Protein backbone atom coordinates (compact mmCIF):
# COMPACT_ATOMS: atom_id res chain seq x y z
CA UNK A 1 0.00 0.00 0.00
CA UNK A 2 1.34 3.46 -0.92
CA UNK A 3 2.40 5.66 2.01
CA UNK A 4 0.67 9.06 2.04
CA UNK A 5 1.52 12.06 4.18
CA UNK A 6 -1.54 13.50 5.91
CA UNK A 7 -1.13 16.23 8.52
CA UNK A 8 -3.42 15.61 11.48
CA UNK A 9 -3.81 16.97 14.98
CA UNK A 10 -3.15 14.56 17.83
CA UNK A 11 -6.87 13.83 18.47
CA UNK A 12 -7.51 13.43 14.73
CA UNK A 13 -4.63 10.97 14.42
CA UNK A 14 -5.88 9.04 17.46
CA UNK A 15 -9.32 8.75 15.87
CA UNK A 16 -8.14 7.89 12.37
CA UNK A 17 -5.90 5.09 13.64
CA UNK A 18 -8.17 3.79 16.41
CA UNK A 19 -8.55 0.01 16.36
CA UNK A 20 -11.72 0.08 18.46
CA UNK A 21 -14.90 -1.07 16.75
CA UNK A 22 -16.85 2.09 17.62
CA UNK A 23 -14.55 5.08 18.24
CA UNK A 24 -16.20 8.48 18.71
CA UNK A 25 -14.38 11.79 18.22
CA UNK A 26 -16.38 14.08 20.53
CA UNK A 27 -15.13 17.54 19.80
CA UNK A 28 -15.71 21.28 19.75
CA UNK A 29 -16.53 23.53 16.82
CA UNK A 30 -13.69 23.86 14.33
CA UNK A 31 -11.75 20.94 15.81
CA UNK A 32 -11.55 19.07 12.51
CA UNK A 33 -14.17 16.35 13.10
CA UNK A 34 -15.29 16.10 9.47
CA UNK A 35 -11.71 16.14 8.22
CA UNK A 36 -10.88 13.26 10.56
CA UNK A 37 -13.95 11.31 9.44
CA UNK A 38 -13.07 11.74 5.76
CA UNK A 39 -9.45 10.69 6.31
CA UNK A 40 -10.53 7.64 8.33
CA UNK A 41 -12.98 6.70 5.55
CA UNK A 42 -10.22 6.88 2.93
CA UNK A 43 -7.81 4.95 5.13
CA UNK A 44 -10.38 2.16 5.43
CA UNK A 45 -11.01 2.36 1.67
CA UNK A 46 -7.33 1.92 0.84
CA UNK A 47 -6.88 -0.82 3.42
CA UNK A 48 -9.74 -2.81 1.92
CA UNK A 49 -10.05 -1.62 -1.71
CA UNK A 50 -12.76 -4.12 -2.70
CA UNK A 51 -15.04 -3.33 0.23
CA UNK A 52 -17.48 -0.45 0.52
CA UNK A 53 -17.43 2.36 3.07
CA UNK A 54 -20.57 4.08 4.35
CA UNK A 55 -20.64 7.78 5.16
CA UNK A 56 -23.59 9.32 7.02
CA UNK A 57 -24.65 12.92 7.53
CA UNK A 58 -27.82 14.44 9.06
CA UNK A 59 -29.28 15.69 5.74
CA UNK A 60 -28.79 15.35 1.97
CA UNK A 61 -28.01 19.05 1.74
CA UNK A 62 -24.87 18.37 3.78
CA UNK A 63 -23.96 15.47 1.50
CA UNK A 64 -24.03 17.79 -1.52
CA UNK A 65 -22.47 20.89 0.03
CA UNK A 66 -19.95 19.36 2.43
CA UNK A 67 -19.22 15.70 1.74
CA UNK A 68 -18.94 15.58 -2.05
CA UNK A 69 -16.52 18.52 -2.51
CA UNK A 70 -14.35 17.58 0.47
CA UNK A 71 -14.09 13.93 -0.54
CA UNK A 72 -13.27 14.98 -4.10
CA UNK A 73 -10.49 17.24 -2.81
CA UNK A 74 -8.99 14.50 -0.65
CA UNK A 75 -9.26 11.81 -3.34
CA UNK A 76 -7.38 14.02 -5.77
CA UNK A 77 -4.70 14.75 -3.18
CA UNK A 78 -4.38 11.03 -2.50
CA UNK A 79 -4.12 10.28 -6.21
CA UNK A 80 -7.14 7.97 -6.19
CA UNK A 81 -9.15 8.07 -9.45
CA UNK A 82 -12.90 8.17 -8.82
CA UNK A 83 -16.31 8.75 -10.36
CA UNK A 84 -19.00 10.73 -8.57
CA UNK A 85 -22.59 9.58 -9.01
CA UNK A 86 -24.73 12.33 -7.50
CA UNK A 87 -28.00 10.60 -8.28
CA UNK A 88 -27.08 7.45 -6.40
CA UNK A 89 -25.13 9.44 -3.78
CA UNK A 90 -22.02 7.33 -4.30
CA UNK A 91 -18.35 7.75 -5.17
CA UNK A 92 -16.88 4.82 -7.10
CA UNK A 93 -13.15 4.49 -6.49
CA UNK A 94 -11.23 3.02 -9.43
CA UNK A 95 -10.19 -0.62 -8.94
CA UNK A 96 -12.18 -0.76 -5.74
CA UNK A 97 -15.54 -0.53 -4.07
CA UNK A 98 -17.64 2.51 -3.38
CA UNK A 99 -18.17 5.18 -0.76
CA UNK A 100 -21.91 5.18 -0.16
CA UNK A 101 -23.52 8.32 1.26
CA UNK A 102 -26.74 8.22 3.24
CA UNK A 103 -28.53 10.57 5.61
CA UNK A 104 -29.94 10.04 9.08
CA UNK A 105 -33.01 12.27 8.89
CA UNK A 106 -35.00 9.27 7.67
CA UNK A 107 -33.50 6.11 9.21
CA UNK A 108 -35.99 3.91 7.33
CA UNK A 109 -34.01 4.59 4.14
CA UNK A 110 -30.82 3.04 5.53
CA UNK A 111 -31.48 -0.25 3.74
CA UNK A 112 -30.50 -2.25 0.66
CA UNK A 113 -26.69 -2.18 0.70
CA UNK A 114 -23.69 -3.51 2.63
CA UNK A 115 -20.46 -1.88 3.73
CA UNK A 116 -17.38 -3.00 5.65
CA UNK A 117 -16.76 0.24 7.59
CA UNK A 118 -18.73 3.41 8.22
CA UNK A 119 -18.31 6.98 9.39
CA UNK A 120 -21.07 9.02 11.01
CA UNK A 121 -20.77 12.81 10.97
CA UNK A 122 -22.65 14.87 13.63
CA UNK A 123 -24.73 12.02 15.05
CA UNK A 124 -25.60 13.98 18.20
CA UNK A 125 -27.41 16.74 16.32
CA UNK A 126 -30.35 14.35 15.87
CA UNK A 127 -33.05 13.95 18.53
CA UNK A 128 -32.07 11.08 20.83
CA UNK A 129 -34.70 8.60 19.61
CA UNK A 130 -33.91 9.26 15.95
CA UNK A 131 -30.16 9.00 16.60
CA UNK A 132 -30.65 5.65 18.32
CA UNK A 133 -32.77 4.37 15.44
CA UNK A 134 -30.26 5.59 12.86
CA UNK A 135 -27.36 4.04 14.77
CA UNK A 136 -29.04 0.64 14.91
CA UNK A 137 -29.72 0.79 11.17
CA UNK A 138 -26.14 1.87 10.42
CA UNK A 139 -24.48 -0.94 12.32
CA UNK A 140 -26.85 -3.43 10.66
CA UNK A 141 -25.42 -2.36 7.24
CA UNK A 142 -21.85 -3.01 8.45
CA UNK A 143 -21.59 -6.64 7.44
CA UNK A 144 -19.28 -6.97 4.43
CA UNK A 145 -16.57 -9.48 5.31
CA UNK A 146 -13.01 -8.20 5.25
CA UNK A 147 -10.32 -10.39 3.70
CA UNK A 148 -8.26 -10.40 6.90
CA UNK A 149 -11.29 -11.18 9.09
CA UNK A 150 -10.99 -7.96 11.11
CA UNK A 151 -13.95 -6.24 12.72
CA UNK A 152 -16.36 -4.00 10.85
CA UNK A 153 -16.07 -0.54 12.40
CA UNK A 154 -18.24 2.55 12.71
CA UNK A 155 -16.49 5.80 13.63
CA UNK A 156 -18.40 8.85 14.86
CA UNK A 157 -17.39 12.49 14.75
CA UNK A 158 -19.72 14.84 16.58
CA UNK A 159 -20.11 17.93 18.67
CA UNK A 160 -21.71 16.99 22.02
CA UNK A 161 -25.28 18.28 22.18
CA UNK A 162 -26.04 17.82 25.87
CA UNK A 163 -27.00 14.47 27.33
CA UNK A 164 -28.27 12.80 24.20
CA UNK A 165 -27.56 9.53 22.42
CA UNK A 166 -23.76 9.82 22.21
CA UNK A 167 -23.53 10.57 25.94
CA UNK A 168 -25.77 7.62 26.77
CA UNK A 169 -24.04 5.10 24.50
CA UNK A 170 -20.39 6.15 24.80
CA UNK A 171 -20.11 7.62 28.30
CA UNK A 172 -23.01 6.63 30.53
CA UNK A 173 -23.41 3.00 29.43
CA UNK A 174 -20.43 2.12 27.25
CA UNK A 175 -20.28 -1.43 25.90
CA UNK A 176 -17.01 -3.10 24.84
CA UNK A 177 -15.60 -1.44 21.74
CA UNK A 178 -17.11 2.00 22.44
CA UNK A 179 -14.36 4.57 23.00
CA UNK A 180 -14.42 8.36 23.34
CA UNK A 181 -11.63 10.50 21.89
CA UNK A 182 -11.95 14.18 22.82
CA UNK A 183 -10.76 17.16 20.83
CA UNK A 184 -11.01 20.81 21.77
CA UNK A 185 -11.17 23.64 19.29
CA UNK A 186 -7.69 24.64 20.49
CA UNK A 187 -6.20 21.39 19.15
CA UNK A 188 -6.92 22.58 15.61
CA UNK A 189 -6.07 26.25 16.15
CA UNK A 190 -3.39 26.29 13.44
CA UNK A 191 -6.04 25.61 10.80
CA UNK A 192 -8.56 28.18 12.04
CA UNK A 193 -8.82 31.83 11.03
CA UNK A 194 -7.61 34.50 13.43
CA UNK A 195 -10.23 35.47 15.95
CA UNK A 196 -12.35 32.31 15.53
CA UNK A 197 -11.92 31.08 19.10
CA UNK A 198 -12.39 34.58 20.53
CA UNK A 199 -15.63 34.89 18.57
CA UNK A 200 -16.91 31.67 20.15
CA UNK A 201 -16.03 32.96 23.60
CA UNK A 202 -17.87 36.19 22.92
CA UNK A 203 -20.96 34.40 21.56
CA UNK A 204 -21.64 31.57 24.02
CA UNK A 205 -22.12 31.33 27.81
CA UNK A 206 -19.75 29.19 29.85
CA UNK A 207 -21.84 26.00 29.80
CA UNK A 208 -22.13 26.09 26.00
CA UNK A 209 -18.42 26.83 25.66
CA UNK A 210 -17.70 23.62 27.56
CA UNK A 211 -19.56 21.76 24.81
CA UNK A 212 -18.73 23.80 21.73
CA UNK A 213 -15.12 24.71 22.57
CA UNK A 214 -13.93 21.83 24.78
CA UNK A 215 -16.12 18.99 23.51
CA UNK A 216 -17.62 18.22 26.93
CA UNK A 217 -21.04 16.79 27.71
CA UNK A 218 -22.95 19.46 29.63
CA UNK A 219 -26.58 20.30 30.28
CA UNK A 220 -27.70 22.50 27.39
CA UNK A 221 -31.29 22.73 28.59
CA UNK A 222 -32.20 26.25 29.63
CA UNK A 223 -32.75 26.50 33.37
CA UNK A 224 -30.67 23.64 34.74
CA UNK A 225 -31.59 23.06 38.41
CA UNK A 226 -28.00 22.31 39.44
CA UNK A 227 -25.95 24.23 36.86
CA UNK A 228 -22.62 24.10 38.70
CA UNK A 229 -22.53 20.35 39.27
CA UNK A 230 -19.65 18.71 37.41
CA UNK A 231 -19.23 14.93 37.49
CA UNK A 232 -15.45 15.34 37.51
CA UNK A 233 -15.00 18.30 39.84
CA UNK A 234 -17.61 16.96 42.28
CA UNK A 235 -16.40 13.37 42.01
CA UNK A 236 -15.59 11.37 45.13
CA UNK A 237 -13.66 8.12 45.45
CA UNK A 238 -14.82 7.65 49.05
CA UNK A 239 -16.52 4.46 50.17
CA UNK A 240 -18.19 3.34 53.39
CA UNK A 241 -15.67 2.53 56.12
CA UNK A 242 -16.30 -0.06 58.87
CA UNK A 243 -18.45 1.19 61.73
CA UNK A 244 -18.90 4.77 60.57
CA UNK A 245 -22.22 6.58 60.84
CA UNK A 246 -24.31 6.72 57.67
CA UNK A 247 -26.47 9.73 56.81
CA UNK A 248 -29.35 8.66 54.59
CA UNK A 249 -31.58 11.05 52.66
CA UNK A 250 -34.91 9.37 51.88
CA UNK A 251 -37.73 10.19 49.46
CA UNK A 252 -41.12 8.44 49.78
CA UNK A 253 -42.79 7.20 46.58
CA UNK A 254 -44.51 3.84 46.69
CA UNK A 255 -42.86 1.68 44.04
CA UNK A 256 -40.14 4.26 43.41
CA UNK A 257 -38.64 4.95 46.82
CA UNK A 258 -35.12 6.36 46.79
CA UNK A 259 -32.38 6.71 49.39
CA UNK A 260 -28.90 8.19 49.15
CA UNK A 261 -26.28 7.13 51.71
CA UNK A 262 -23.71 9.76 52.75
CA UNK A 263 -20.55 9.69 54.82
CA UNK A 264 -18.80 12.72 56.27
CA UNK A 265 -15.19 13.60 55.60
CA UNK A 266 -14.56 16.45 57.99
CA UNK A 267 -17.84 18.30 57.62
CA UNK A 268 -18.10 17.63 53.89
CA UNK A 269 -20.76 15.14 52.75
CA UNK A 270 -19.92 12.42 50.24
CA UNK A 271 -22.69 10.44 48.54
CA UNK A 272 -21.40 6.87 48.44
CA UNK A 273 -24.41 4.63 47.79
CA UNK A 274 -27.88 4.93 46.27
CA UNK A 275 -30.99 2.77 46.38
CA UNK A 276 -33.74 3.48 43.85
CA UNK A 277 -37.06 2.00 42.73
CA UNK A 278 -37.62 0.25 46.07
CA UNK A 279 -41.22 -0.82 46.75
CA UNK A 280 -42.08 0.93 50.01
CA UNK A 281 -40.74 2.13 53.37
CA UNK A 282 -40.60 -1.29 55.10
CA UNK A 283 -38.69 -2.69 52.11
CA UNK A 284 -36.27 0.27 52.10
CA UNK A 285 -35.59 0.00 55.83
CA UNK A 286 -35.05 -3.76 55.59
CA UNK A 287 -32.64 -3.18 52.68
CA UNK A 288 -30.62 -0.57 54.59
CA UNK A 289 -30.44 -2.81 57.66
CA UNK A 290 -29.36 -5.82 55.62
CA UNK A 291 -26.77 -3.99 53.51
CA UNK A 292 -25.18 -1.96 56.33
CA UNK A 293 -24.91 -4.03 59.52
CA UNK A 294 -22.78 -2.54 62.27
CA UNK A 295 -23.45 1.05 61.22
CA UNK A 296 -25.42 3.75 62.99
CA UNK A 297 -27.98 4.90 60.42
CA UNK A 298 -29.42 8.41 60.61
CA UNK A 299 -32.32 9.02 58.22
CA UNK A 300 -33.27 12.45 56.88
CA UNK A 301 -36.64 11.80 55.24
CA UNK A 302 -39.37 13.62 53.40
CA UNK A 303 -41.23 15.38 56.25
CA UNK A 304 -44.62 14.37 54.85
CA UNK A 305 -43.84 10.81 55.90
CA UNK A 306 -44.78 11.55 59.50
CA UNK A 307 -48.45 11.42 58.54
CA UNK A 308 -48.55 9.50 55.24
CA UNK A 309 -49.09 5.77 55.53
CA UNK A 310 -46.71 3.38 53.88
CA UNK A 311 -48.00 0.79 51.43
CA UNK A 312 -50.06 -1.94 53.12
CA UNK A 313 -49.27 -0.68 56.60
CA UNK A 314 -51.05 1.25 59.33
CA UNK A 315 -47.96 3.02 60.65
CA UNK A 316 -46.61 6.24 59.23
CA UNK A 317 -43.38 6.13 57.25
CA UNK A 318 -41.51 7.87 60.06
CA UNK A 319 -42.79 5.35 62.62
CA UNK A 320 -41.54 2.50 60.44
CA UNK A 321 -38.09 4.11 60.24
CA UNK A 322 -37.92 4.35 64.05
CA UNK A 323 -39.12 0.76 64.46
CA UNK A 324 -36.09 -0.41 62.49
CA UNK A 325 -33.81 1.26 65.03
CA UNK A 326 -32.75 4.18 62.86
CA UNK A 327 -32.34 7.72 64.17
CA UNK A 328 -34.59 10.30 62.57
CA UNK A 329 -33.76 13.89 61.66
CA UNK A 330 -36.55 15.92 60.13
CA UNK A 331 -38.27 19.27 60.28
CA UNK A 332 -42.01 19.57 61.07
CA UNK A 333 -42.60 20.43 57.42
CA UNK A 334 -40.58 20.10 54.26
CA UNK A 335 -38.46 23.10 53.31
CA UNK A 336 -39.57 25.09 50.31
CA UNK A 337 -38.37 23.48 47.10
CA UNK A 338 -36.43 26.65 46.35
CA UNK A 339 -34.61 26.43 49.69
CA UNK A 340 -33.74 22.76 49.16
CA UNK A 341 -32.34 23.50 45.70
CA UNK A 342 -30.37 26.48 47.01
CA UNK A 343 -28.93 24.37 49.81
CA UNK A 344 -27.75 21.67 47.40
CA UNK A 345 -26.32 24.21 44.96
CA UNK A 346 -24.44 25.97 47.77
CA UNK A 347 -22.78 22.67 48.68
CA UNK A 348 -22.12 21.73 45.06
CA UNK A 349 -20.21 24.95 44.40
CA UNK A 350 -19.99 28.21 46.27
CA UNK A 351 -17.28 30.87 46.33
CA UNK A 352 -14.95 28.57 44.45
CA UNK A 353 -15.38 25.66 46.90
CA UNK A 354 -17.07 22.32 46.17
CA UNK A 355 -18.21 20.56 49.35
CA UNK A 356 -20.83 18.10 48.09
CA UNK A 357 -19.08 15.17 46.47
CA UNK A 358 -20.62 12.16 44.75
CA UNK A 359 -19.08 8.80 43.92
CA UNK A 360 -20.09 8.35 40.25
CA UNK A 361 -19.49 4.59 40.33
CA UNK A 362 -21.81 3.89 43.27
CA UNK A 363 -24.32 6.71 42.68
CA UNK A 364 -24.79 6.85 38.88
CA UNK A 365 -28.46 7.90 38.98
CA UNK A 366 -27.76 10.75 41.40
CA UNK A 367 -25.00 12.00 39.10
CA UNK A 368 -27.35 11.85 36.13
CA UNK A 369 -30.09 13.70 37.99
CA UNK A 370 -27.74 16.45 39.15
CA UNK A 371 -26.51 16.84 35.57
CA UNK A 372 -29.82 16.65 33.74
CA UNK A 373 -32.71 17.94 35.86
CA UNK A 374 -34.13 21.17 34.46
CA UNK A 375 -36.97 23.50 35.39
CA UNK A 376 -40.39 22.92 33.85
CA UNK A 377 -42.59 25.57 32.25
CA UNK A 378 -43.95 26.51 35.69
CA UNK A 379 -40.49 27.24 37.08
CA UNK A 380 -40.41 24.09 39.22
CA UNK A 381 -37.83 21.27 39.04
CA UNK A 382 -39.11 18.90 36.37
CA UNK A 383 -40.72 15.69 37.63
CA UNK A 384 -41.91 14.24 34.32
CA UNK A 385 -38.49 12.82 33.44
CA UNK A 386 -38.24 10.76 36.65
CA UNK A 387 -35.00 12.47 37.61
CA UNK A 388 -36.46 13.98 40.79
CA UNK A 389 -36.71 11.06 43.23
CA UNK A 390 -33.06 10.33 43.96
CA UNK A 391 -31.95 13.98 43.96
CA UNK A 392 -34.86 14.88 46.27
CA UNK A 393 -33.69 12.17 48.66
CA UNK A 394 -30.19 13.64 48.75
CA UNK A 395 -31.66 17.13 49.08
CA UNK A 396 -33.57 16.32 52.30
CA UNK A 397 -30.28 15.41 53.99
CA UNK A 398 -28.39 18.41 52.61
CA UNK A 399 -31.13 20.90 53.47
CA UNK A 400 -31.48 19.62 57.04
CA UNK A 401 -27.77 19.49 57.87
CA UNK A 402 -26.56 22.41 55.71
CA UNK A 403 -29.55 24.76 55.43
CA UNK A 404 -29.52 28.09 53.69
CA UNK A 405 -29.40 30.76 56.39
CA UNK A 406 -31.96 33.44 55.65
CA UNK A 407 -31.27 36.88 56.96
CA UNK A 408 -34.07 38.23 59.15
CA UNK A 409 -34.56 41.95 59.29
CA UNK A 410 -35.80 43.36 62.61
CA UNK A 411 -37.99 46.42 62.23
CA UNK A 412 -38.20 48.70 65.25
CA UNK A 413 -40.14 51.92 65.61
CA UNK A 414 -38.04 55.05 65.44
CA UNK A 415 -38.56 57.36 68.40
CA UNK A 416 -38.10 61.01 67.63
pLDDT, one tens digit per residue, over 325-382 is 999 999 888 888 888 998 999 999 988 899 999 999 999 999 999 988 888 777 788 8
What superfamily in CATH does domain 10-212 come from? P-loop containing nucleotide triphosphate hydrolases (3.40.50.300)
Binned at pLDDT 50, 70 and 90, residue 324 comes out as very high
Binned at pLDDT 50, 70 and 90, residue 41 comes out as very high
Q: What is the pTM of this model?
A: 0.64
Q: Over the chain, what is the mean pLDDT?
A: 89
- Determine the average pLDDT of the residues in 62-69: 93
Quick check: 401 pLDDT over 70? Answer: yes
Residue 33 near residue 25 (C-beta atoms within 8 A) = yes
- pLDDT in the model for residue 411: 45
Flag the least confident range among 16-20, 227-231, 237-241, 367-371: 227-231
> In the chain, which segments carry CATH 3.40.50.300?
10-212
Flag the least confident range among 79-93, 161-175, 229-243, 284-298: 161-175
CATH number belonging to the domain at 246-401, selected among 1.10.3720.10, 1.20.1250.20, 3.30.420.280, 3.90.1580.10: 3.30.420.280
Q: How far is residue 96's CA from residue 50's CA, in Å, rounded to a whole number?
A: 5
> In the chain, which segments carry CATH 3.30.420.280?
246-401
Binned at pLDDT 50, 70 and 90, residue 414 comes out as very low
Amino acid sequence: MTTRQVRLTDPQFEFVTAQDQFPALVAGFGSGKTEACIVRALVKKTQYPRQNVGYYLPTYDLVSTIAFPRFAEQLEQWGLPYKLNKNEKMIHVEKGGSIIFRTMDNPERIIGYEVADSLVDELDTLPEDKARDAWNKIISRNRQKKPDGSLNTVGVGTTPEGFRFVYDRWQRNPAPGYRIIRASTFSNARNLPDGYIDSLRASYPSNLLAAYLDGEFVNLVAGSVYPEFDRRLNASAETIQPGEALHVGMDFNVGRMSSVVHVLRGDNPHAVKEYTRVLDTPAMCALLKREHPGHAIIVYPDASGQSRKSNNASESDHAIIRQHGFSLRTNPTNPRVKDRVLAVNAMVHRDGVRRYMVNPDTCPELVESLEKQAYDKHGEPDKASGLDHVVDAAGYFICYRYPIQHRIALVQPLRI
